Amino acid sequence: MLIRSPKSWEISASTVTPEALYHARPRREFLRTLGVGLAGAALARPGALFGATAGFPSKENPLYPAAKLKPTAEEYVTVYNNFYEFGTGKDEPKVNANKGWKTDPWTIELAGLVNQPAKFDVNDLVKKIGGLEERIYRFRCVEAWSMVIPWDGFPLAKLVALADPKPEAKYLKLTSFNDPKSAIGQRQGNLEYPYVEGLRLDEATHELAFMATGLFGKPLPNQNGAPIRLVTPWKYGFKNIKSVVKIEFTATQPKNTWQAMAANEYGFYANVNPKVDHPRWSQASEQIIGGGFFASRQATLMFNGYEKEVASLYKGLDLAKNF
Amino acid sequence: MFSVASCFREAQLQPVVVFLEKLLRSKPVIWTLLILPGLWPLWPLLVTRSPAAGADPLKLILHHLGFIACVLLATVLTFTPLRVLFPRWGVAFALNRHRRLVGVASFAYALLHLTAYLMHEGGFRTLIHDAFEQPKFFIVAGLVAFTILLVLAVTSVNALIRRLGGRRWKNLHRLVYVAAALAVYHQIYARKLFPVQVLWIFGPLGLLEIARVIRQQQTAGGRVKPAG
Ligand code: HEM
């Protein structure tokens, strides 16, 4: 099997550091914070207006601990978003994705060249997978800024194992939602929708590839791609497709949305690489979001600091051509 | 002949126009109009303390300063066509007394924009890399536009205007149209998607320029009859 044993990373709840600021608050409390008491009562599942709530609190994965990386302040992570479905301004998604767009209930489909095609409710999927773990990852946007984000989720490899790909399957094509009625950016047609991303199968089963349903110990806010999104920390942010509805296993390389928009600027791989410039700016350094006025720029690391883990995936590949 | 001023007069708006003219003739008013918009980022950064602004404050400032530089550049270029099209309109006349000030202010904002860029993106090393080692056209365009504005600002001191003489000075200062075209290109390619604001910054100027060319051809045609 392609899958390395992710089970060995799981740890008991007792090692979770409760004093960490961002750690899971009881579900009722965060729902109250969101002020959805009344609206929630009208729904089939009371309280759950959006996001996938199953699996919280998550367990910290000690391989990706908070101690090593200091997370960006939550107020920045949840307001500084590229989610063109809800507008191109950084702070637009927070407003526009919370005007009635429903992310619960949500179905995600496994399809294509697999032995076990299936459709799952996201909450059921989390339970089936066996709960959530927390990982602190660096996040590097192609626009040369970066954050550190504590995600809650599960390895994509577990989802791939559920689907049980056929031998011909070489790639994953991930598709986001298409709902122009709820998404102003889709009505405007600022990109081609639905948003599509892709991974090679060996990238998807790499231990770092992650499906997140939460951040800061809580279900994903809508603007961060609720209820389920991809996180590949060694790749530029646009690779991390939000609000996924379908994962299709294919024999040929899928064309991702930004590559279709401008193939000379955005490639299929989108691996973070300080030595390969974007045609319009250098990728050698990055702005630290929330870092203030001074000394808030740092050198960008090869594969965003995950070189040791992922470099072997790209042996022999010309990274300047396959950007 | 059609004139905006006479329209206003018929609509009993003359007092308003006179007031506007007076206002626009006043230097303190113009200075305030030039400086105030540049201070806008202080509002979200210091007063409302919006996290969206605080996430990357220098970038916000960088964008805003470039934006104001473009707005002022487009604005100062409307002054001449306004005067040609509406020769008896006092407001157009009042505005044309401030051409140098507004033009130099556009340069000043471009200079601050460049400073913010140097602070934000890693100093001269990045500039040299992005303009010369691995040239990015939108940065080169910005740099050329900036250099033009610099030359025009420097040659706008009285002594140099006199030294150069009217015709040479005028020819040199026609470069401002090159700078404006480069600024349009620069602004569009600074973004991942086409920024609609370009249209409303430079659209009115484009329309006025077309109207001016038509008007000047009409009047020229009236004076010198083409042969045949
Ligand atoms: C040496 C000269 C210049 C440099 C290095 C420079 C650099 C930049 C950079 C890097 C950006 C994009 C920022 C980002 O999104 O990351 C930008 C945007 C911009 N620049 Fe410049 N620039 C220069 C000159 C100018 C000049 C002369 C003008 C106008 C007269 C100008 C107007 C603008 C505008 C309007 C934007 C777009 C802001 C936005 O998208 O909101 N720049 N510039």
Report d(CA B64, CA A213) in Å as an integer. Answer: 35
First to last CA, chain B: 28
Q: For atom 15 of ligand 1, which residue has the closest CA?
A: B190
Mean of per-residue pLDDT scores for chain A: 86
pLDDT above 60 for A64:
yes
Spell out which residues of chain B touch residue A88, defining contact as CB-CB under 8 Å: 192-193
What SS3 state is found at A302? Answer: helix
Q: Is residue A5 part of a domain?
A: no
CA A90 / ligand 1 centre spacing (Å): 18
Report d(CA B2, CA B4) in Å as an integer. Answer: 7
Query: What is the total residue count of chain B?
Result: 228
Q: Is residue A27 part of a domain?
A: yes
Q: Is residue A163 part of a domain?
A: yes
pLDDT band at A66 (very low <50, low <70, confident <90, very high): low
Contact at CB, A290 and B189, closer than 8 angstroms: no
Cβ atoms A202, A313 nearer than 8 A: yes
Test mutation, B185, B188, B192, B194, chain A, max A CBs within 10 A: B192
Domain hosting A221: range is 13-314
DSSP class per residue in B79-146? HHHHHHHSTT-HHHHHHHTTHHHHHHHHHHHHHHHHHHHHHHHTHHHHHHIIIIIS--HHHHHHHHHH
Our CA-based measurement puts residue A140 at a distance from the nearest CA of chain B, in whole angstroms, of: 14
% of chain B beyond a pLDDT of 90 = 64
What is the average per-residue pLDDT within B1-19? 67
> Which two structure tokens, joined as six digits, stand for A34?
């969101």
Tell whether B56 lies on the interface with A, counting CB pairs under 8 A.
yes
pLDDT band at B147 (very low <50, low <70, confident <90, very high): very high
* Residue B131 alpha carbon, nearest atom of ligand 1: 5
Q: What is the per-residue pLDDT for B61?
A: 96
The model's pTM is 0.84
The predicted-structure confidence for B187-202, as pLDDT tens digits, reads as follows 999 888 888 889 999 9
Alpha-helix residue ranges (DSSP H) falling in chain A: 27-33, 37-41, 74-77, 92-96, 122-129, 156-163, 184-188, 201-204, 257-261, 307-310
Low-confidence winner among A32-36, B96-100, B180-184, B202-206 (lowest mean pLDDT):
A32-36
Contact at CB, A88 and B193, closer than 8 angstroms: yes
Our CA-based measurement puts residue A95 at a distance from the nearest CA of chain B, in whole angstroms, of: 12
CATH number of the domain to which A261 belongs: 3.90.420.10
Q: What is the per-residue pLDDT for A1?
A: 32
**ipTM at complex level:** 0.81
Q: Which residue among B187, B193, B200 has the greatest number of ligand 1 atoms within 8 angstroms of its CB, and so is best to mutate?
A: B187
A/B interface, count of CB pairs below 8 Å:
66
Q: What is the per-residue pLDDT for A187?
A: 96
Q: Going by C-beta distance under 8 Å and a sequence separation of 6 or more, which residues neighbour residue A47?
A: A27, A28, A31, A36, A37, A40, A41
Q: Going by C-beta distance under 8 Å and a sequence separation of 6 or more, which residues neighbour residue A129?
A: A154, A158, A159, A162
DSSP percent split of chain B into helix, strand, coil, nearest 5: 80, 0, 20
**b/e burial code for range A194-203 (CB count within 10 A of at least 16 → b):** bbbbbbbbeb
Number of domains present in the structure of chain A: 1
Q: Which residue among B58, B59, B113 has the greatest number of ligand 1 atoms within 8 angstroms of its CB, and so is best to mutate?
A: B113
Report d(CA B52, CA A94) in Å as an integer. Answer: 10
Q: Is residue A17 part of a domain?
A: yes
